[in-house]
Amino acid sequence: MNFPYQVYNILMPKTRTQYVCQQCGRTAARPMGRCPQCGAWNSMVEELIAPPATIRHSRSTAVRSTPQRLSEVSGDVEERLPLPINEFARVLGGGIVPGSIVLIGGDPGIGKSTLLLQVALEMSHQSPVLYVSGEESERQIKMRAVRLLRDANTGALPLPDNLFLVTETGLDAILEHITQVKPQLLIVDSIQTTTLPELESSAGSVSQVRECASRLRELAKSSGIAVFLIGHVTKEGTIAGPRVLEHIVDTVLYLEGDRFQSYRLLRSVKNRFGATSEVGVFEMGEHGMAEVANPSEAFLAERMVNAPGSAIAVTMEGTRPLLVEIQGLTSPTQFGNARRTPNGVDFNRLLLTTAVLTRRLGLRLGEQDIFVNVVGGLTVSEPAADLAIAAAIASSMRNTPLRADAVLIGEVGLSGELRMVGQMNARLKEAASLGFKTAIIPQRMRKNEPWQADIQVIEVRSLRQALDHALVEKV
Ligand code: TYD
Ligand code: MG
């Protein structure tokens, strides 16, 4: 780590700002609700006008950089700080990369501050960590830390010495604290409360959020500090959400989950240092977020075997197969228009499977309200869950359960045919490891290789054949 480095290089000198339309590039001295050139609404964003001195300066720095041979570039490719929270490390691609900048987005109250305080507590055993909060006081954060560290058996655990807390929103002050603490990990909670005084616009506006994040990225790259930014996902409006930051940072993680359920999924949507769409599964409990090492088992824990309308799908979340229960319920419509209510599945996929069940299998779903629910607050967007969705609806409609020991995997086509989905071996293995005996899947074109899982595989061509195998009483 190159301490001491010049923090004030990162803070530009006081400058003027202008408002630039993000659609057409028209500039104005004052903010305007509507761009006079292209007519776009709320598109004017405050930007810094770089003074001539800065331009000269940047030219001289351009000369200072020198091309290096690939073989001579320092730094081991695999150099990462180990993170003892496995589910988190897996989403990052195996530990924290020094000098990387990671954005963690999510709805308010979902558990971002809690999870990152846990990361800070763990990492402070290795090296100094600075936790900057613009939302909570040091006292509040301490109370939370004590709660997280409290162990059921031993009472409160000792507090770490190397975790530094500060309540601060000004970026210049934050950068000054960094020169004092010299952390290896900086956590900024949240990027929406961080402000740069040069910009007139208020905290949380697009220009503030973007400018602060780029300064923190420069800090990360020049010093080797790993930076975690917390960002609230908000509806479109004056408060800028993590979307405007996605291209600035190296890694974007989203913490998802139903607020009324305890499971939380940490999902990577962009990662320069690992696979994307990897997930880590946590459960929010008394002492913060607990890792869920075997999520499939957890998601199936409350399942009622032999209940009509319950089907088991196997979805892939990144490289990890997950078994989820999909519930369907049909109920005669009361007021004319039949309703379709998906919870955790895509509305259009529900409409599609319903249409196929109606047209190809002759189920009279036109007069039925249909509810589909993914148990555990999960969201399943993969077409591989189509078959399970269709089976859950058909099972409820026929009032006959599906085979309790079977999983259903496959995409449903418009003609009622089943289509193969990717990574079938991984899905079958996961189902077998949880004790399922049968998998009903689409027929393969080439049958040269046997399936690599200890499970009976029934290959079928169509949704109708799949239901013939899956429903306990034949219809
Ligand atoms: P928080 O991390 O503050 O959310 P965010 O930073 O994403 O806005 O989480 C707040 C919620 O988590 C709150 O409803 C209380 C709950 N919680 C627990 O259930 N257990 C705990 O140990 C902690 C610290 C919080
Ligand atoms: Mg918070």
Number of helices (H), then strands (E), in the chain: 12, 21
Does 383 sit in the ligand 1 pocket, CB within 6 Å? no
- Where in the sequence is the domain holding 309, given as residue range(s)? 298-470
Domain check: are 313 and 198 in the same one?
no
More confident residue, 199 or 416: 416
CATH classification of the domain holding 362:
3.30.230.10
Q: Can you tell me the distance from the alpha carbon of 335 to that of 150, in angstroms, rounded to the nearest whole number?
A: 53
Domain check: are 200 and 348 in the same one?
no
Residues in the chain: 475
CB atoms within 10 A of CB 392: 31
Cα(43) to ligand 1 centroid in Å equals 34
CB of 256 closer than 8 Å to CB of 264 = yes
Q: Tokens 């990671």 — which residue?
A: 102
Cα(286) to ligand 1 centroid in Å equals 10
Ligand 1 atom 17: residue of nearest CA? 288
End-to-end C-alpha distance for the chain, whole angstroms: 69
Q: What is the tens place of the pLDDT at every residue in 49-65?
A: 766 554 444 555 556 77
Domain check: are 318 and 348 in the same one?
yes
Does 287 sit in the ligand 1 pocket, CB within 6 Å? yes
Q: Which atom of ligand 1 is nearest to the CA of 259?
A: 14
Does 108 sit in the ligand 1 pocket, CB within 6 Å? yes
pLDDT band at 237 (very low <50, low <70, confident <90, very high): very low
Cα(114) to ligand 1 centroid in Å equals 6
Q: Can you tell me the distance from the alpha carbon of 455 to that of 396, in angstroms, rounded to the nearest whole number?
A: 26
Residue 1 maps to a domain: no
More confident residue, 261 or 13: 261
Q: Which of 400, 399, 387 is nearest to 352 (CA)?
A: 387
Percentage with pLDDT > 90 across the chain: 56
Ligand 1 atom 25: residue of nearest CA? 288
Does 242 sit in the ligand 1 pocket, CB within 6 Å? no
Mutate to test the pocket of ligand 1, among 107, 110, 114, 115 (most ligand atoms within 8 A of CB): 114
Does 231 sit in the ligand 1 pocket, CB within 6 Å? no
Does 113 sit in the ligand 1 pocket, CB within 6 Å? yes
Q: Can you tell me the distance from the alpha carbon of 442 to that of 296, in angstroms, rounded to the nearest whole number?
A: 22
Q: Tokens 């917390």 — which residue?
A: 230
Domain check: are 167 and 152 in the same one?
yes
Q: Which atom of ligand 1 is nearest to the CA of 110?
A: 7
CATH classification of the domain holding 263:
3.40.50.300
Q: Which one of 275, 293, 311 terminates a domain?
A: 293
- What angle is formed at CA 145 by the lines to CA 140 and CA 147, rounded to 5 degrees? 95
CB of 98 closer than 8 Å to CB of 225 = yes
Q: Which one of 265, 293, 321 terminates a domain?
A: 293
Q: Locate 75 and state its tokens.
A: 């730094």
More confident residue, 277 or 247: 247
Domain check: are 27 and 137 in the same one?
no
Does 117 sit in the ligand 1 pocket, CB within 6 Å? no
Residue 310 maps to a domain: yes
pTM: 0.80
Residue 412 maps to a domain: yes
Cα(192) to ligand 1 centroid in Å equals 18
Cα(133) to ligand 1 centroid in Å equals 15
pLDDT band at 75 (very low <50, low <70, confident <90, very high): low
Q: Which atom of ligand 1 is nearest to the CA of 287?
A: 22
Ligand 1 atom 8: residue of nearest CA? 109
Residue 452 maps to a domain: yes
Domain check: are 255 and 161 in the same one?
yes
Q: Can you tell me the distance from the alpha carbon of 459 to that of 438, in angstroms, rounded to the nearest whole number?
A: 11
CB atoms within 10 A of CB 331: 13
Instruction: Give the torsion sign (CA, 252, 80, 221, 127).
Output: positive
Does 110 sit in the ligand 1 pocket, CB within 6 Å? yes
CB atoms within 10 A of CB 204: 20
Instruction: Give the torsion sign (CA, 99, 191, 147, 378).
Output: negative
Does 284 sit in the ligand 1 pocket, CB within 6 Å? yes
Does 112 sit in the ligand 1 pocket, CB within 6 Å? yes
The maximal CA–CA distance of the chain, rounded, in angstroms, is 80
Domain check: are 445 and 378 in the same one?
yes
Does 193 sit in the ligand 1 pocket, CB within 6 Å? no
Cα(109) to ligand 1 centroid in Å equals 6
Q: What is the tens place of the pLDDT at every residue in 278-288?
A: 889 999 998 89
Mutate to test the pocket of ligand 1, among 119, 150, 284, 291 (most ligand atoms within 8 A of CB): 284
Domain check: are 459 and 334 in the same one?
yes
Q: Which atom of ligand 1 is nearest to the CA of 135?
A: 6
CB of 328 closer than 8 Å to CB of 431 = no
Domain check: are 111 and 238 in the same one?
yes
Q: Which one of 293, 309, 332 terminates a domain?
A: 293
Q: How far is CA 7 from the centre of its chain?
A: 32
Lowest average pLDDT, out of 162-171, 182-191, 265-274, goes to 265-274
How many domains are there within the chain? 3
Domain check: are 262 and 391 in the same one?
no
Does 111 sit in the ligand 1 pocket, CB within 6 Å? yes
Which residues crowd ion ligand 2, with CB under 5 Å? 113
Q: How far is CA 380 from the centre of its chain?
A: 13
Cα(256) to ligand 1 centroid in Å equals 13
Residue 424 maps to a domain: yes
Domain check: are 265 and 361 in the same one?
no
Q: What is the tens place of the pLDDT at every residue in 110-144?
A: 999 999 999 999 999 989 999 999 999 999 999 99
Q: Can you tell me the distance from the alpha carbon of 300 to that of 85, in angstroms, rounded to the nearest whole number?
A: 24
Cα(283) to ligand 1 centroid in Å equals 11
What DSSP line would sit under 151-172, residue for residue?
BTTTBSPPPPSSEEEEE--BHH
Q: Can you tell me the distance from the alpha carbon of 395 to that of 393, in angstroms, rounded to the nearest whole number?
A: 5
- What is the pLDDT averaged over residues 92-103? 93
Q: What pLDDT, on the 0 to 100 scale, is given for residue 404?
A: 92
Torsion of CA 10, 11, 16, 18, to 10 degrees: 50
Q: What is the tens place of the pLDDT at every residue in 191-203?
A: 999 999 888 888 8
Residue 42 maps to a domain: yes
Domain check: are 326 and 463 in the same one?
yes
The phi and psi torsions of 93 (rounded to 5 degrees) equal 95, 20
Residue 112 maps to a domain: yes
Q: Can you tell me the distance from the alpha carbon of 342 to that of 397, in angstroms, rounded to the nearest whole number?
A: 16
Q: What is the tens place of the pLDDT at every residue in 164-180?
A: 999 999 999 999 999 99
Residues paired with 462 in a beta bridge = 417
Q: What pLDDT, on the 0 to 100 scale, is given for residue 245?
A: 84
Q: What pLDDT, on the 0 to 100 scale, is given for residue 239?
A: 47
Cα(436) to ligand 1 centroid in Å equals 35
Q: What is the tens place of the pLDDT at every residue in 201-229?
A: 888 878 888 899 999 999 999 999 999 99
Residue 56 maps to a domain: no
